Chains A and B, each alone.
Chain A
Amino acid sequence: MISGAAPKKLDRRIVIKGAVAGGVAQLAAPFVLTARAAETVKIGLDNPLTGTFAALGKNELIGAQLAVDQMNAKGGILGRQVELLVEDSTSGDTATAVQKALKLIDRDKVDFLIGNINSALAQAMANTSNQKGVFHIVPGGHTDTVTGSQCHWNVFRVCNTTRMETNSVSKLLLEGYGKNWYFITTDYAFGHSLQDGFEASLKQANGTKLGADFTPLGTTDFSANLIKAQSVIPDAIILLLAGDDMINCLKQAVQFGLNKKFHIAGAQQELEVNEGLPPDALFGDWVFEWYWKQPGVPHVEQFVADIRKRSGGKVPTARTWFGHAAMWSCQLAAEKAKSLEPIKLAKAMQGLVLPPEVALMPNNPYYRIGDNQLMPTLFVGQSQPAPAGGDPEDLFKVSQLVKGDEAALPVDQTGCKMEWPS
C-alpha cells in the first residue's frame, strides 16, 4: 500500500463544484486596510484594488493619498486631520461593493464616501449612499445614469459622462473619416452608454451604423468580431472597450492588419491601457480625460513630480487625477459649507469651481448645478509611440481641448430630476 497514493473518489460533481468555485473566486476579494485616529475627518474610499480594474484603482488611490497628505499639511478639513479608509470593492461584484460602502458608512462613520471605477458598482453605491444620506463622490464610473436618470442630491461625479466623451470626439471622427461605423462594444453599462452616445451623433449626422458586437467583459479573443467588422467595410471601427479588453482587441487588430485598412478609434482611452500596448498598437483617435503633459498649465508640473515620487517614477494618469480631485472636492465643499453635514456639503458643491491647484487643467472646471456633474476639459487626440528621446510615458498627442459643458447634454436632457430632502 502506498502512503497517500490513491486519490479519493473524484467525480464530475467535484469537478463541477470546483468550476463553480472558480467562478465565485473571480468575484471574491480580499480586504485591504484601514487606519484609525481619533477626532479625524474620515473619507472612505471603496474602489477596486483587485481584479480587472486593480491598476486603475491603485492609481486613484495614489492620487487620493497625495491629496490627503497635502490637506493634512495645510491643516486638514475644518481644522481636523483627514483620515483615509480604504476598502477593496472588487472589480465587478456589486454586492461586495455595496457591503463595503455600508461598512464604511455604518461602522466607520465616514463623513465622505468615494467610489467607484466600475459603472455598475458606482451606481449601486450611489443608490446606497443616497438611502443613507451620505455625501458621495464618484471619481471614475462613467455611465450616464449616475448624474442622469438616477442622479441624487448627495452624489457628485469627477469623471465625464459617456455622452461627454462621445460628443467630444464624434465631430472629429465624422468629419475626418466618414459616416459608416462598426462598433465593438463591451457588454455592460459603460459600453452601452458609450454606444448610445455615438449612435446619437451618427443619427444627427445622417451616418450609418453598419453593425455592432457586444462582447462580454473579459473577452480574450476578438478575431470573430474583427472579421465581421472587416466584412462590412466600414469607414471606422469604433472600439468601446476598457482595460484589458481594449488591449487585447487593439493587439489583435494590428495582427490582422486592420489598422492599415480602416480607421480605428473610440471614445475613452487611458494611459494605463496605452502603457500595456506594444508600440505598433499605439494608434487611433481617442479622448483622454486628463493628461500629464500640459505645458504652461499651472501646478501640473508639480503634481506630476509629486506623483512620480510616490509611484516609482511613473507619471499620473487620469485616474490619479480623479482620486486627487475627488478628495480635494470634499475639502473644498466642507470649507465652503463650514460643516460636514451632507445637505450643507451638497449645497456648497453647487457650481463649485475647482481652484487651479486642484483643477490641473484649463477652463476652470466646475460642478454643474442640476446634475452634480463636474464640467472639466476633455483632451481629444491620438495615441502615439513614445517619441524618440522623449518621455517613455508620452503616449498620447493632444490635438484638441474640448470644454466639458460644450460636450455635455444640457441638464434638462440628462434625465436627472434632482430631489432634495425636505
Chain B
Amino acid sequence: MTQLLLFNVFNGLIIGAFYALMALGLSLILNLSGVINFAHGGFLAIGGYLAYTLIPYLGFWGALLVSPFLVAFIGIVIERVLIRRLYGRDPLYSLLLTFGLAFMIEDGTRFIWGAQSLPYQIPGWLAAPLSSEYFFLTGYRVFMMILVGAAVLGLFLILNHTRLGLRIRAGTLDLETVSVLGVNVRVLRNLNFGLGIYLAGLAGVLAVGMLGLEPTIGDNLIMPSFIAIIVGGLGSLPGTLVGGLLIGVASGVTSVFFPSASEAVIYVMMAAVLIVRPRGLLGEEGRF
C-alpha cells in the first residue's frame, strides 16, 4: 500500500505540474488585465491541433517548438482585436467574451479538423515506461515534467530578471502608476496575454501526447486550472504553482481509495480553502 501511495503521489505531482502550467497562464492574464480567460482551454486545443498538423513538416520536436509560439501569436491578435476593448469594464464583460470565444474555438477546431479524435504519435522511446519494477513512471511523463519545470523556471526568470517581467509585476500591483511612469500599458498587456497563451499552447502540445486530440480536450483541463488558482491564492503565481501541485496529488491519492471521487476531491479542496482561508494558500490579504 505504501508503494502504491508513493506511486500515486509522484504521478499526482506530475499531473499537478501540468495543471499548474495551464493555471500559470491563466493567472498571468488575470493578474495584470483582470480577464478571466475562459478560452484558455480552447487555446490549449489549438496548440495540440497545430502540433498535429505541423508534425509531417517539422517532425515532433519542430512541432513542439513552433506550435506554442503560433498559439501565442493567435492570442496576441485576439487580445489586440477583441479583448483590449473590454479593459476597464466590469470583469464579467471579458468573462462573457472569452466564454463565447471558447465555443467559437471549439467549433472552429471541429470544423477544420473534424469532431473525431485524431491519432497523435509521440516518439517510441518517449512512449515507453521507464521502469515499473521500482517505480511506475513513463518516459513521456518525465519528459513532460522536465518541460513544465523548464517553462515555469523560464517564466519566473522572465518575471524576475527582465524589464518586461518587472513591468508585468509592477503592473499587477498598480497598473495606473506604471502607466504614469511612461510604460506603454497596451503593449505590456498584449505581450503578457501572449505569454499566458504561450503557456496554454505548450500545455496543449504536451497534453496530446497522453490524451485524445479532439475539440473538447481543453474542457476537462480548464476547471482544475481555475481551482489551482483559487486554492493557491488569486494574484500569486507561486500560489498557483502550489495549488496545481496540491490538487494533482489530492486527486491521485484519492484514486487509491475512492476513484469515483478523484475529480470531486479538488472541488472539496477548493471549498475548504474558501471557508478556512478565503484568499487562498499564498494569496495576499486584501488583494482581491
Contacts and interface: CB of A to CB of B under 8 A. Distances in A.
Partners in one complex: yes
Interface of A: 1-8, 10-12, 14-19, 21-23, 25-26, 30, 50-52, 54-55, 58, 187, 213-216, 218-221, 223-225, 227-228, 230-231, 244, 247-248, 251-252, 254-257, 261, 272-273, 275-280
B175 A231 contact: no
Contacts of A261: 132
B214 A215 contact: no
B129 A256 contact: yes
B66 interface: no
Interface in B93-136: 95, 99, 102-103, 106-107, 110, 114-122, 124, 127-129, 132, 136
B38 A21 contact: yes
B132 A230 contact: yes
A324 B38 CA distance: 38
Contacts of A225: 255, 259
B37 to A, nearest CB: 9
A224 B117 CA distance: 23
Contact of B214 (A10, A228, A276, A278): A276
B92 A251 contact: no
Interface string B191-214: 000000000000000010011111
Given A5-B185, A22-B223, A223 B11 contact: yes
A22 B102 CA distance: 10
Interface in B176-235: 176, 179, 185, 207, 210-217, 219-223, 226-227, 229-230, 234
A220 B114 contact: no
A280 B215 CA distance: 23
A65 to B, nearest CB: 16
B219 to A, nearest CB: 6
Interface string B1-22: 0011001100110010000000
Contacts of A244: 117, 211-212, 214, 216-217
Interface in B233-264: 234, 251-252, 255-256, 259-260, 262-264
B91 interface: yes
B99 A216 contact: no
A15 B88 contact: no
A227 B89 contact: no
B229 A214 contact: no
A30 B175 CA distance: 38
Given A15-B30, A54-B115, 10 more contacts: A14-B95, A15-B230, A215-B260, A216-B263, A216-B264, A220-B220, A223-B8, A224-B251, A255-B139, A257-B138
Contacts of B165: none
Contact of B119 (A1, A213, A277): A277
29 contacts: A5-B87, A6-B88, A8-B88, A10-B30, A12-B230, A12-B288, A15-B36, A18-B95, A21-B95, A22-B226, A23-B223, A25-B102, A26-B219, A50-B107, A52-B216, A54-B110, A55-B115, A214-B259, A214-B260, A218-B220, A219-B220, A220-B207, A223-B15, A244-B214, A272-B116, A272-B117, A275-B119, A276-B118, A276-B212
Contacts of B30: 10, 15
B119 A248 contact: no
A248 B210 CA distance: 6
Interface residues of B, number: 81
A276 B230 contact: no
A227 B8 contact: yes
Contact of A278 (B8, B99, B121): B121
A280 B209 CA distance: 13
A256 B136 contact: yes
B33 interface: yes
Contacts of B36: 10, 14-15, 18
B140 interface: yes
B274 interface: yes
Q: Which of A15, A225, A272 has the most CB of B within 10 A?
A: A15
Max count, chain A CB within 10 A of own CB: residue among B219, B227, B234, B278: B219
A314 to B, nearest CB: 9
Contacts of A16: 230, 274
B136 A1 contact: no
A5 B116 CA distance: 42
A120 to B, nearest CB: 16
A94 to B, nearest CB: 18
Contacts of A23: 223
Given A213-B259, A224-B256, A224-B259, A1 B176 contact: yes
Contact of A54 (B33, B122, B215): B215
A251 B129 CA distance: 12
Contact of A215 (B217, B229, B262): B262
Given A8-B34, A10-B91, A18-B95, A228 B185 contact: no
Nearest to A54: B115
Given A6-B88, A244-B214, A220 B176 contact: no
Contacts of B107: 50
A257 B128 contact: yes
A54 B139 CA distance: 32
Contacts of B264: 216
B92 A14 contact: yes
Nearest to A226: B136
B261 to A, nearest CB: 9
B91 A14 contact: yes
A58 B115 contact: yes
A8 B87 CA distance: 8
Contacts of A227: 4, 7-8, 11, 136
B221 A224 contact: no
A228 B259 CA distance: 10
A22 B222 contact: yes
